[in-house]
């Protein structure tokens, strides 16, 4: 069954994410399987599933993506990965922000968006009402949702207190610097590559039907082919020819691909595009983000 509500969050915010899940389930009639929250029991990924592929599929199929935005989330490459994929897929994104986060510090995919404050009961009620409308879920009686909302407010207060307490103990607060590739921050590049959509002919994929995919998705799924190199003389009706013309050429302006230097005898007949050093760094960072999420 497709995921209807996807909660993007940092693993360090498990307690807050769990309270948010309880609040959503108490506010509207949805099944446990309708909601994906990878840190909360009952809503985690299936055992043995391909981590990245399943999450991208969940985001793509979801009706709404909830961004639980804390300082931990802003410092998490994986959350930026998910938010970038959400933005690129043009999915309905509902950011809900803790009081520890300054709105002018929100990352690229959230910049300029109206957000709900997790400490404001009015914002929470509006947030829950909008979520139920988007997924087409019936609201439960208001009385049933009162305690879960209060519990979420308490969890938020404890989260903020813990964060400020850690800082007051003399711990140097560090915010992981978002890596850049060819001068573009990771989240911004994710957004751009997610926005670039390509129609993949069914005859060139296992789907058997034409499907629209983002340039980022195609790059990740065919990373080996891009790394091995793609030649311009491959037929348009072949997978290699499609990847060269419709994807690799699109990646050139972002510095993720480059033309290979060929011997004169070969260069006379074709050109070859390969992943650039910056492109390899980008792919490695994506793998690192996935590995960190699995811990």
What would the 3-class secondary structure string for 180-241 be? EECCEEHHHHHHHHHHCEEEECHHHCCCCCCEEEEHHHHHHHCHHHHHHCEECCCCCCCHHH
Answer whether 0.85 is exceeded by the pTM: no
Could you read off the pLDDT of 59-70 as tens digits, one per residue?
A: 888 999 999 999
Distance spanning both ends of the chain, measured CA to CA: 26
| Chain mean pLDDT for the chain | 85
Higher pLDDT, 106 or 158: 158
Identify the pLDDT of residue 59: 84
Burial class of 260 by CB neighbour count within 10 A (0 to 12, 13 to 18, 19+): middle
Identify the pLDDT of residue 175: 44
Identify the pLDDT of residue 173: 43
Tell me how crowded residue 99 is: count the other CB atoms within 10 A of its CB: 16
Tell me how crowded residue 85 is: count the other CB atoms within 10 A of its CB: 25
3-class SS of residue 22: helix
CA distance 7 to 14: 11
Could you read off the pLDDT of 14-67 as tens digits, one per residue?
A: 999 999 999 999 999 999 989 999 889 888 887 766 767 777 788 888 999 999
7-16, 108-117, 180-189, 198-207: which is most confident = 7-16
Q: Which residues of 208-244 are buried (b: 16+ CB within 10 A; e: fewer)?
A: eeeeebbbbbbbbebbebbeebbbeebeeeebbbbbb
Q: Is residue 170 scored above 50 in pLDDT?
A: no
Where do the domains of the chain lie, and which CATH numbers do they carry?
5-168 (3.40.50.10140), 180-294 (no CATH)
């Amino acid at each position: 069954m497709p995921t209807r509500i996807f909660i993007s969050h940092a693993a360090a915010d498990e307690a807050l994410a769990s309270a948010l899940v309880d609040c959503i389930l108490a506010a509207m009639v949805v099944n446990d399987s309708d909601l994906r929250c990878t840190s909360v029991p009952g809503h985690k990924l299936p055992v043995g599933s391909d981590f990245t592929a399943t999450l991208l599929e969940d985001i793509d199929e979801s009706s709404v993506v909830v961004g639980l935005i804390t300082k931990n989330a802003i410092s998490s490459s994986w959350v930026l990965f998910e938010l970038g994929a959400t933005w690129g897929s043009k999915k309905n994104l509902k950011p809900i922000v803790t009081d520890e986060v300054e709105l002018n510090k929100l990352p690229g995919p959230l910049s300029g968006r109206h957000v709900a404050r997790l400490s404001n009961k009015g914002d929470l009620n509006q947030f829950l009402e909008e979520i139920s409308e988007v997924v087409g879920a019936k609201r439960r009686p208001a009385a049933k949702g009162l305690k879960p909302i209060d519990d979420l407010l308490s969890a938020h207060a404890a989260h903020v207190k813990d964060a400020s307490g850690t800082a007051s103990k003399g711990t140097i607060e560090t915010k992981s610097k978002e890596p850049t590739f060819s001068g573009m921050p990771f989240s911004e590049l994710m957004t751009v590559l997610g926005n670039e959509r390509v129609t993949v002919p069914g005859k060139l994929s296992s789907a058997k039907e034409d499907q629209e995919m983002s340039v980022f998705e195609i790059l990740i799924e065919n990373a080996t082919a891009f790394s091995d190199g793609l030649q311009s003389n491959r037929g348009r009706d072949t997978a290699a020819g499609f990847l060269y013309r419709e994807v690799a050429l699109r990646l050139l302006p972002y510095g993720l691909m480059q033309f290979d230097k060929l011997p004169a005898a070969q260069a006379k007949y074709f050109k070859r595009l390969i992943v650039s050093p910056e492109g390899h760094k980008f792919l490695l960072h994506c793998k690192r983000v996935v590995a960190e999420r699995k811990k």
